[in-house]
A and B are shown apart, each in its own frame.
Chain A
Amino acid sequence: MLRLLHTADVHLGARHADLGYAAAAQRERQFAAFRASVDLAIAEKVDLFLVAGDLFDSNVQPRRSVERVAAELARLAQAKIRSVLVPGTHDVYDRSSVYRAYSLFAMAGTQPTDDLVTVLTPEHPWVHLASLDAVVHGPVFPTKRAPYSPLRDLAAVQTPAATWKIGLLHAAIAIPGRTDHDEVVITVEEIGVSGLDYLALGHWHSAQVATSKGVTYAYSGAPEPVAVDQDRAGKVLLVTLDEHDGKRQVKVEERVVGRTVFDHLDVDAATLASQPALITRLQSAANPDLVLDVRLIGVRPDGLDLEPAEVEAALKDSFLRIRVRDQSHPALTGGALPPAETITGAFIRNVEGQIADLEASGDEVAAREAEKLRDVLRLGRLLLAGQEVTL
């Protein structure tokens, strides 16, 4: 029996342009998720810890990050858990690769001769772990774009005999029309004839498991979601390989290690009485692990004075990150218009006329102008009526 923990796409050091002040915190969470997966591996006493690429978001991550990773690998080594990593497409194994600049196994306090920490490279694309009776294949290229499928020559590679053959690969599974420009592509057919017992994949950030002609393959997904709309991220996979009566069985179990949740919320502006009301309403969803993207949509009542930045500031501490975007638009003038001979009447008729023309023309630029003019209309209306508007 062989038990392993499969993770990938940690993307340490990733940039989060849309998270603003919470970006640095999210980067820390990404590392925390990695540490949590190591904790899990130790608690579950697995035999092998696999990282299927993109551990680092780029090859130029600081030494500090590499040291922290090495410390985690050292913990695994001390618990006698072997770890095998492959470079991905972000931490690709070119000449400036982080894996060339730093020797992970040395930093983890192990020797090159023992097989506790291994990084597979184009020069050494497989490793035989004798004590586990397993061979791990990790074909990688020294370029970001693969010249051909990494599984192409896998079956022909000569290795010492072993009961278990594991594949560790950072690649996309071919989807015609979607993955045409992807850097590393493999097909389900290739997986089926690879002769592997389990193929640990990385590159896609959502967890999924499948089989092809008896070969089980899986994406572990990112242990901490890296961007919005990755709702199947935040997990690692615990895999058990077993043999009963000559039949091999592969069992894959998902475990959650990530904490951040991304969500979005649309709020109808017409239902809002005031900015404090909005703040109260959003406060009810408060969650320090939540990245909430709030959109105000629909028609905004004239009297609603709203400053998204203030709302964000008020709720900043209740969420990991909250972003409020006002995409509501002020109404056209309701009720009876003041006579055309009044300034207000002239103003409203003039601006509404321009809005109608722009919205009728149908093109995007005109639509944006029309949005602005709606704001102009609302502002002018309120100011001319003598109402208090914060500018």
Chain B
Amino acid sequence: MRISSLALTDVRRYRDQEIELAPGLTIVRGPNESGKSTLQRAIELALTRRATSSAADLDALVPWDGDAEARPAIGLAFTYEDDDGGTHAGRLAKSFRGAKGQVRLELDGTVITDPAKAEEELAALSGVPTEGFFRSTASIRHHELAGLQRDEGALRDRLQASISGADRGTSRAKKKLDRALHELQMRGPKNPGRLKVAEDAVTDAESRLGAGEDLLARLEHDRDALVVARGRRSESETALAERRSMLEKARQAERLGSERSAANERYERYREAVVVRDEIAELERTHPSSTPLPVLRTTVERLRTVITRISTLEQMLEGEVHVSFDVPPEVRWRHLSRWSLVLVVIGIVIAAAAFGLDQAAIVELGTLPILAGGIVAAAGLVLAFVGFWRRRSDRIEKQLRDVEVDRRLRGRSDIELELRQSEAEREDLLGRTGLADPAQAEAMLEAEDKHVTAIEQRRARLSGLIANEALDSLSMRRDTAALEIEQKTAALEALGPIAKEPRARERLEVEVTDAEGTLDRARDDEANARALVEQNPVDAEEVAGLAERLAGWKDELAALRRRDQIYTRTLSEIGNAEQATMQRATRYLERRMVVDIARITEGRYRRVRVDDANLGIEVYSPERVGWVPVTELSQGTLDVVYLAARLGLVRLVTGDRRPPLILDDPFVTLDDARASRALELLRELASDFQVIYLTTSDRYDGLADQVVELAGPVAVDDHEHPEVAPA
């Protein structure tokens, strides 16, 4: 794009100005404050600022002495090439009135008044998308070159800015991202980054929530357990009560059983007693003999005696009884006594003789003779004794015989008398018994004896059964006992099967003890379960708060993580873009700059290399025989090198679009020789680009296609100088 004319209305000192520009190199010359910078600014604004912009710097363009309603307006007439190489004309008129600003862009007959569309079209034509881009590429201010020698970093940064696409390098952007990432990612415990803070908060909240949820689960579980324990305790109580009642029954059954046995025993006793009593009564009624037994017995015994006597007497009467005695030979005893005497005397003599001889010590005979003598004497005594006994028995016999004889002498009539007496007694006795004959009496006695014995036996039995109790109440007592048996039996039946089980009481006593133990344990369990529930400090609403806080922290963490990812990605993408761009730029620069620098330095430096990491430029110095950074060159040379680089980059970044280049006297520091060489550079540039060179010097006039002269300010302050006070 090449601007053919520029019209300014109410732009600073230009109330209404039109300036013609050449398609090639135009020099705009004027003293300081003649408005050169304003022109540069105006072209920048025309090409890149939206008409509806209300930025403050537009207000600053309003002329000082203009009327209050005045607003800047800029117009351009230009030509541009389309893709096929054909040239077209266009006009642009922008009036900056804030939101009411207007634009009118004419392109080959088409008119565009939409501010956004107009900007798009202009950017496409000029290759300059933004103001920042313009300033970093096509619009060069001379302060850019100031201090390049001192600050190698500044040189690089400025060059980098040219290829950044804005008017500053990427380092600031990268630093900002680095700093932000650092803040996010710091992990030190003393100074944790936001990510770590959030992560720690999430971890902490999760563990607290987990603990809270655990306690809630425990509470639920413990309550459940408490209900179960309570149920078991209640069951144990019921079971114990049931066992106890069964035990009562068993005890009762035992009691009833023993009572019934006692009653049974009593019943048997009384029943038998009644029978016996009745038997006795019956026997008493049916005595075989009307006489009492003792009397009958006495009578019969006497009868027996009498009958025996009678029999004896009868027998005596029936025959003489010869009594013969064997009279023993007379006095055998005497014979014996004689002999005994003899033996005794002999014996004594022998013994005495032996003794005397012995005493006189005439003959030693020993004891034998004494002994013999003694024996003989003893024999004699024995005989004497036998004889004595014989005599006695003979005497007794004699007595008996004498009695016998006597008796026989008494006579038969006594016997008959005794016999009659005895017979009478017999009849009397028989009469007393009321029986016909002694055999009957014997029989009666025997019968009565037996009867009475029977009665006696029964009486004894009865006494054994009832001791001293009254006889008349026996039946009643028997019946009472029977009733009691019935009652006890009924009561036992009512108790049920427990009554029939042997050893039920023992079994149930064990079971009751067991049940008591079980109940104690169940009570303990219940108390423990209740304690667990009551000791649980958990508050469900607090736990709810923890869950809510966790959710909040999780959201925050997710957002921070996303932010971390975005910053990281942005940084890496910028880095990638930078690297790619730098590489292209440095290779391009090296190629282009070599020519320009050789020309500018008249062949001194023919080799250039550019660092593709930071755009640092080095030239090969033949004096030093090595590569030196350009900042070690002289100021003038450095400036030109910078410009060469800068312009090389403009070509690179604008590609086939050609914005007008506006340079605000960047060669001001060069001497004439260098300056004119530099300007030749520009002339060459002008074949591809429109170059508008702003300067105060006229040394370039000869090279320009067009020179525009600007008048300086005319207003002068006519305030008088104050008088200098005398010294």
Contact = CB atoms under 8 A, between A and B. Distances in A.
Interface in B550-601: 551-552, 556, 562, 565-567, 569-570, 573-574, 576-578, 580-582, 584-585
Given A335-B120, A346-B580, A376 B569 contact: yes
Interface in A1-54: 13-21, 23-24, 27
A29 B221 CA distance: 30
Given A96-B227, A341-B584, A14 B567 contact: no
Interface stretch (A78-86, A122-130, A379-387): A379-387
Nearest to B566: A375
A343 B130 contact: no
A100 B229 CA distance: 13
A100 B165 CA distance: 75
A96 B221 contact: yes
Nearest to A342: B165
A265 B538 CA distance: 38
Contacts of B22: none
B539 A62 contact: yes
Interface in A301-344: 309, 335-344
Interface stretch (B273-281, B413-421, B649-657, B683-691): B649-657
Interface string B64-102: 000000000000000000000000000000000000000
A344 B166 contact: yes
Contacts of A380: 173, 570, 573-574
B353 interface: no
Contacts of B653: 338-339, 341-342, 345
Interface string A205-233: 00000000000000000000000000000
Contact of B565 (A345, A351, A372): A372
A286 B223 CA distance: 45
Interface residues of A, number: 54
B551 A17 contact: yes
Given A350-B576, A380-B570, A380-B573, A344 B177 contact: no
Interface in B208-223: 216, 219-221, 223
A104 B119 CA distance: 77
A193 B578 CA distance: 80
Contacts of B129: 335-339
Contacts of B220: 59-60, 96
B527 interface: no
B172 interface: yes
Interface in B119-168: 119-120, 123-124, 127, 129-130, 132-133, 163-168
B175 to A, nearest CB: 10
Contacts of A64: 539
Contacts of A344: 164-166, 577
A59 to B, nearest CB: 6
Interface string B98-128: 0000000000000000001001100110010
Given A15-B547, A23-B544, A379-B570, A339 B228 contact: no
A379 B570 CA distance: 7
Given A95-B227, A100-B227, A342-B581, A347 B573 contact: yes
B224 interface: yes
Nearest to A375: B566
A345 to B, nearest CB: 5
Contacts, number: 175
Given A60-B216, A336-B123, A386-B172, A376 B570 contact: yes
A77 B556 CA distance: 48
A379 B563 CA distance: 11
Contact of A15 (B164, B544, B569): B544
A94 interface: yes
Interface in A262-288: none
A101 B652 CA distance: 83
Contact of B654 (A21, A23, A339, A375): A339
Contact of B224 (A16, A96, A345): A96
A20 B552 contact: yes
B113 to A, nearest CB: 17
B133 A338 contact: yes
Contact of A61 (B132, B540, B580): B540
A197 to B, nearest CB: 35
A60 B123 contact: no
A386 B176 CA distance: 11
B545 A372 contact: no
Given A95-B224, A337-B129, A372-B566, A343 B581 contact: yes
B127 A350 contact: no
A372 B568 CA distance: 11
Contacts of B545: 23-24
B180 interface: yes
A391 B551 CA distance: 24
Given A350-B573, A386-B173, 19 more contacts: A17-B551, A20-B552, A58-B216, A60-B220, A61-B541, A62-B538, A336-B129, A338-B129, A338-B165, A342-B653, A344-B165, A345-B165, A346-B576, A346-B580, A376-B573, A380-B573, A384-B173, A386-B172, A391-B176
27 contacts: A20-B551, A23-B545, A24-B541, A60-B219, A60-B223, A61-B541, A95-B223, A96-B220, A96-B227, A97-B223, A335-B129, A336-B129, A341-B163, A341-B585, A343-B165, A343-B577, A346-B580, A347-B576, A372-B566, A372-B569, A373-B569, A376-B573, A385-B130, A386-B132, A386-B167, A386-B168, A391-B177
